[in-house]
Amino acid sequence: MSSGPTPGTGIRVLLVDDDAAIRAGWRTVLDAAAGITVVAEAAHGQEAIERAAGIDVVLMDIRMPVLDGLEATRVLTRTRPAVRTIVVTTFESDAAVWSAMRAGAAGFVLKRSPAAELLEAIRIAHASDSLLFPAALGRIAAQHSRPPAIAHAAGLTPREDEVLRRLARGRSNAEIAGDLGVGAETVKTHVGNLLDKLGARDRTHAVVLAYELGYVFPGAGA
């Protein structure tokens, strides 16, 4: 079973929700969009794990029977690093959303989001070169992260620190290169180094950890 998009099918999506009406609605929306194909559905986390092979992006509900979305996200992050999980929530204030972000979700969307936002989320998560809805991430970090008073020393250089702050604001590598007046390759190196130092899987995870460790404070320019 190969991973990654195959030509003609676009981004391969797995829909996970215990409510069939939600899955049917999403399927209609995604089927109408170019470059996105729903290839499987699951009614709970266990089914999601079983059906994740060859999937690019998972739309994951949180509260489900058998295995909830939080635990399923944890498992998928560990066993299928290529799969990007977007947590779908009814309420932005849900504490489980932040837990899912810490567990490795690429981002989250609200169930009430308009179609354009849902499609944008899937495309950004799949491309994984910028942060999904940085302002919203900052808001839930403000509600749920417990940063220490002083940032943990992860040994970031001043430059890497600057890059991390810009990542948290949702800037892309090219934009950061423009901000700092350096080449895009240099930024890429900095991002690689700070991911290593923080022990982060990707830039979303780096930003989540930056909030958790107190490098970035929610609301500070996000």
Partner 1 sequence: MIFRWGVEACRTMLYLVLGGALLVPLVAAWLLLIWPIDSFDGMAALWLVSIPFAFALALFPFVRNIEALAARELLGIAGADTAESTGLYILSGVHLVIGATYSATLLFATMPLIYFLGAGERLVTGPLPLRLAYAVLVAVLWLAGTWALGRCIAAGARRLLRPDRQRALEALRRRDALARDLHDSLGHSLSVISVQAVAAQARLHSGGTDHAVSGALDELAASARAAQDELDQALGILQDLDASDGRDLASLGQLVDGLDVQLVADDVRGIPAQQSRVAYRILQEGLTNALKHGSGGIAIRLATGPELLLRLVNDYDPGSRRPGSGSGVATMARRAGMLGGTLDSSGAEGVWTLEARWPR
Alpha-carbon distance 170 to 64, whole Å?
30
- Regarding 136 and contact with partner 1 (CB under 8 A), the answer is no
- Minimum distance of partner 1 from residue 160's CB (angstroms): 40
Alpha-carbon distance 108 to 101, whole Å?
8
Q: Which residue has the tokens 């001043």?
A: 158
- Minimum distance of partner 1 from residue 35's CB (angstroms): 14
The residues in 85-124 that bind partner 1, with binding defined as CB under 8 A, are: 90-91, 111-115, 118
Helix (H) or strand (E) holding 16: strand 11-16
- Minimum distance of partner 1 from residue 36's CB (angstroms): 12
The residues in 5-64 that bind partner 1, with binding defined as CB under 8 A, are: 19, 21-22, 24-26, 28-29, 31-33
Contacts of 143 (CB under 8 A, 6+ apart): 93, 95, 98
Q: Which residue has the tokens 């749920």?
A: 144
User: How many residues lie near partner 1 (CB under 8 A)?
Assistant: 19
| Residues engaged in binding partner 1 (CB under 8 A) | 19, 21-22, 24-26, 28-29, 31-33, 90-91, 111-115, 118
